[in-house]
């Protein structure tokens, strides 16, 4: 669908944020084997919901990380952050302090009083902050690798209370993510077709058993592409039934309904018989 400029901006921001978290996940992967690493926690203290990007539990210290994938030029002035040339953004330090405070209160209510060291991580290599404050909680891109190196492997192992902390947080985590305000869409209003997995173009041609991207040359099995689209259909239209014709239409009437049916039969459970058959 065609997005409005505002929606495009939101989409870019979400993508950027997500990419930043993925990047940080990569950097903290070595810690997984020795420490407890919790990512993307959605927690609730009384009626206040808050999100925690990454929590790292080590034998010596617990860390709370807020990841920001800001790119380009920013300025810090009078306790405020601006994206140059002039738009003010939410102060990420305040977000970090809020998450830390709420996390502390939540854990205290569950009988855990362990402190967390909280850090604001600016992860994008092309991030510049003019008049950058020398704040002990801020880690700039050029400091990141040395900062992570300092979280050295501890000589003493994790104990029961560390696991209890992780278990408590995992139990308190709300698995239903808060969805951003999505633009209104319907089946009829969206462009149908299979897009290329590699370059996202819609210039896809069916050649034998494969889908061939005329733009980048990427080849994907027909069945894999249909399955991908069927899962996408399920995500976008949870109340719509998956039928061979609905997916055939959703895929831009590529192949034949019979071929689509074969793919659905293989990857989904069939409900009903004859007319009215659908897949779950």
Under the binding rule (CB under 7 A), the answer on residue 257 touching DNA is yes
Comparison of 114 and 262: residue with beta carbon closer to DNA: 262
Comparison of 16 and 241: residue with beta carbon closer to DNA: 241
Enclosing H/E stretch for 45: strand 36-45
Binding DNA by CB under 7 A: which of 46, 149, 159, 275?
275
Which residues are registered as beta bridge partners of 50? 43
Q: DSSP for 136-192?
A: TTEE-GGGHHHHHHHSPPPSSPP-HHHHHHHHHHHHH--SS-----PPP--TTTSPP
Alpha-carbon dihedral of residues 263, 265, 269, 271, nearest 10 degrees? 120
Rounded-to-integer distance, Cα 96 and Cα 101, Å? 9
Under the binding rule (CB under 7 A), the answer on residue 142 touching DNA is no
Under the binding rule (CB under 7 A), the answer on residue 261 touching DNA is yes
Site string (207-246) toward DNA, x via CB under 7 A: -xx------------xx-------------------xxx-
Comparison of 215 and 266: residue with beta carbon closer to DNA: 266
Under the binding rule (CB under 7 A), the answer on residue 267 touching DNA is no
As measured in angstroms, the least distance from the Cβ of 251 to DNA is 12
Instruction: Assess contact for 221 and 210: CB atoms under 8 A.
Output: yes
Rounded-to-integer distance, Cα 221 and Cα 241, Å? 24
Under the binding rule (CB under 7 A), the answer on residue 258 touching DNA is yes
As measured in angstroms, the least distance from the Cβ of 225 to DNA is 10
Rounded-to-integer distance, Cα 116 and Cα 62, Å? 5
Under the binding rule (CB under 7 A), the answer on residue 273 touching DNA is yes
**CA-based angle 6:8:13, to the nearest 5?**
95
Comparison of 167 and 221: residue with beta carbon closer to DNA: 221
Q: Alpha carbon of 112 to those of 20, 51, 159, 163: distances in Å?
A: 30, 19, 14, 12
Q: Left, alpha or beta for 170 (phi > 0: left; psi -120 to 50: alpha)? A: alpha
Binding DNA by CB under 7 A: which of 20, 92, 104, 255?
255
Stretch that binds DNA, among 67-75, 115-123, 186-194, 252-260 (CB under 7 A): 252-260
Q: Count the helices and strands in the chain (H runs, E runs).
A: 7, 14
Rounded-to-integer distance, Cα 270 and Cα 278, Å? 6
Site string (158-197) toward DNA, x via CB under 7 A: ----------------------------------------
Comparison of 149 and 273: residue with beta carbon closer to DNA: 273
Under the binding rule (CB under 7 A), the answer on residue 256 touching DNA is yes
As measured in angstroms, the least distance from the Cβ of 243 to DNA is 4
Stretch that binds DNA, among 71-79, 106-114, 171-179, 266-274 (CB under 7 A): 266-274
As measured in angstroms, the least distance from the Cβ of 254 to DNA is 10
Q: What residue ranges bind DNA (CB under 7 A)?
A: 208-209, 222-223, 243-245, 255-259, 261-263, 266, 270, 273-277
């Amino acid at each position: 669908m065609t997005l409005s400029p505002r929606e495009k901006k939101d989409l870019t921001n979400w993508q950027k944020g997500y990419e930043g978290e993925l990047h940080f996940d990569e950097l903290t992967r070595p810690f997984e084997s020795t420490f407890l690493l919790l990512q993307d926690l959605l927690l609730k203290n009384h009626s206040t919901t808050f999100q925690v990007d990454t929590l790292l539990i080590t034998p010596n210290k617990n860390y709370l990380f807020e990841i920001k994938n800001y790119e380009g030029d920013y300025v810090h002035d009078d306790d405020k952050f601006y994206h140059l040339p002039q738009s003010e953004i939410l102060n990420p330090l305040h977000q970090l302090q809020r998450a830390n405070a709420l996390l502390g209160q939540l854990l205290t209510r569950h009988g855990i009083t362990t402190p967390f060291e909280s850090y604001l991580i600016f992860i994008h290599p092309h991030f510049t902050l003019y008049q950058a404050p020398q704040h002990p909680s801020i880690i700039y891109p050029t400091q990141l690798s040395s900062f992570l190196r300092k979280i050295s492997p501890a000589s003493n192992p994790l104990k029961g209370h560390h696991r209890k902390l992780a278990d408590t947080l995992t139990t308190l985590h709300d698995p239903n993510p808060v969805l951003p305000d999505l633009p209104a869409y319907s089946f009829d209003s969206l462009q149908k077709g299979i897009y290329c997995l590699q370059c996202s173009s819609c210039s896809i041609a069916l050649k034998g058993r494969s889908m061939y991207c005329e733009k980048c040359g990427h080849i994907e099995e027909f069945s894999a592409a249909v399955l991908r689209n069927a899962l996408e259909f399920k995500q976008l239209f949870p109340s719509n039934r998956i039928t061979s014709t609905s997916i055939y239409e959703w895929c831009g009437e590529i192949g034949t309904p019979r071929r689509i049916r074969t793919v659905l039969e293989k990857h989904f459970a069939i409900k009903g018989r004859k007319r009215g058959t659908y897949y779950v």
